[in-house]
Amino acid sequence: MAMTVMIQEAGGPEVLKLSDREVGAPGPGEVRIAHKACGLNFIDTYQRSGLYPLALPHALGMEAAGVIEAVGEGVTHLKPGDRGAYAATPPGAYSEARVMPAAQVCPLPDGISFEEAAAMMLKGMTVEYLFHRTTPIAKGDTVLFHAAAGGVGLIACQWARSEGITLIGTAGTDEKCALALEHGATHCINYRSEDWAARVQELTGGTGVDVVMDAVGADTFEGSLNSLMPLGMMISFGNASGPVPPFNLGVLGQKGSLKLTRPTLFTHIADRASCQEMADHLFGKVLSGDVKIRIDQRFPLRDVRAAHEALEARKTTGSTILQI
């Protein structure tokens, strides 16, 4: 039996319930993993609220790290006793142990702790695809990144610095802006005290940025489009303020033949080889010291409701983990 966080219905943090579940043995292409730490991500709140519907009842959680207890037939890249980490579907990482598909579980290098791994797999591989698999970004380019002091944001700030990319961040307090700057942002704008879109134009001499990376959604969408240079790329990869409402595609032409995409990590990591390649790139950044994983909040698994409340109230910085 393993303690697991389940939802019986969509709703607020109050629908998160702990239950004991039978774990069982892994089938073909599966592993059983005993978790040491689990990650917390905004996608978890989308699934809990029903924005991203799940077949109910369902367990939650998309990333974790731990020790492989058993492997099913056909699994060759892992064996019992190995350290492993993942970002993967289906949800179920908020648990002491689980059986899951093995393809997205990556061997974890000894130089990276379980807590670091649980805090970085989903966020770090998201940054990897944003900078390397969505649109060409080269040294000297300028990127606008919203929520720059969050878990994804602080990794993005460091990643950009390591590759000579100018990153203009936004955050909701002066303290969060200072944190983003400390981690490699070239500039950071407090969106509560400044007109951030106008400030982006000032910082770029009126030309706009090459790429916008926006996980905020509805609140920042229009300003993000207005921050792009002609032929610029808007990457909308999240909905922290709610989904972007329908809009007229002709606006992209009017604003300078802009490009718009809505990618997800899980498309990129669906292939086992691509997933491992992305994880290896991330591991290399961390092991080299180019990227340090900042964990600012730790909650016991049983306090998952408080963790969700803190995340949705934007009271968190860096990454948040659930301790097993």
- The DSSP secondary structure of 289-318, one letter per residue, reads TSS---EEEEEEGGGHHHHHHHHHTT---B
Q: How many CA atoms lie within 13 A of 125 on its CB side?
A: 30
Alpha helices in 31-163 (DSSP H): 42-49, 114-132, 151-162
In a domain, residue 127? The reply is: no
Q: How many CB atoms lie within 10 A of CB 110?
A: 7
E strands, 148-214, in order: 166-171, 187-190, 209-214
Measured CA to CA, the distance from residue 205 to residue 266 in angstroms comes to 37
pLDDT score, position 240: 86
| 148 close to 154: Cβ distance less than 8 angstroms | yes
In a domain, residue 319? The reply is: yes
Output 240 or 209, whichever has higher pLDDT. Answer: 209
Structural domains in the chain (count): 2
Measured CA to CA, the distance from residue 253 to residue 186 in angstroms comes to 29
In a domain, residue 289? The reply is: yes
Q: Which of 212, 245, 262 is the last residue of a domain?
A: 262
In a domain, residue 292? The reply is: yes
In a domain, residue 198? The reply is: yes
Q: Are residues 254 and 148 in the same domain?
A: yes
Q: Are residues 111 and 21 in the same domain?
A: yes
Q: Are residues 30 and 97 in the same domain?
A: yes
Q: Could you report the per-residue pLDDT of 91-144, keeping only the tens digit for each? A: 999 999 999 999 999 999 999 999 999 999 999 999 999 999 999 999 999 999
Mean pLDDT of the region 299-319: 95
Q: Are residues 201 and 292 in the same domain?
A: no
Q: Which of 246, 262, 278 is the last residue of a domain?
A: 262
Show the domain range for 34. Answer: 2-122+266-323
pLDDT score, position 263: 97
Q: Is 154 helix (H, G, I), strand (E, B) or coil?
A: helix
Mean pLDDT of the region 8-13: 98
CATH (domain of 229): 3.40.50.720
Q: Which of 262, 286, 314 is the last residue of a domain?
A: 262
In a domain, residue 228? The reply is: yes
Mean pLDDT of the region 149-175: 97
| 295 close to 115: Cβ distance less than 8 angstroms | yes
Q: Are residues 152 and 109 in the same domain?
A: no
266 Cβ contact partners less than 8 Å away, ≥ 6 residues apart:
88, 89
Structure-token match 């060759």, residue found: 76
Q: Are residues 73 and 27 in the same domain?
A: yes
Is the pLDDT at 59 greater than 90, yes or no? yes
Question: Mean pLDDT over all residues of the chain?
Answer: 97
Q: Are residues 251 and 290 in the same domain?
A: no
Q: Are residues 198 and 305 in the same domain?
A: no
Q: Are residues 23 and 108 in the same domain?
A: yes
Q: Are residues 46 and 108 in the same domain?
A: yes
CATH (domain of 304): 3.90.180.10
Q: Could you report the per-residue pLDDT of 65-91, keeping only the tens digit for each? A: 999 999 999 999 999 999 999 999 999
Residue 260: beta bridge partners?
234
| 80 close to 70: Cβ distance less than 8 angstroms | yes
pTM: 0.95
- Of 1, 27, 30, the C-alpha closest to 96 is 1
Distances in Å between the Cα of 146 and the Cα atoms of 19, 85, 171, 214 are 36, 27, 7, 5
Confidence of residue 40 (pLDDT cuts 50, 70, 90): very high
pLDDT-above-70 percentage for the chain: 100
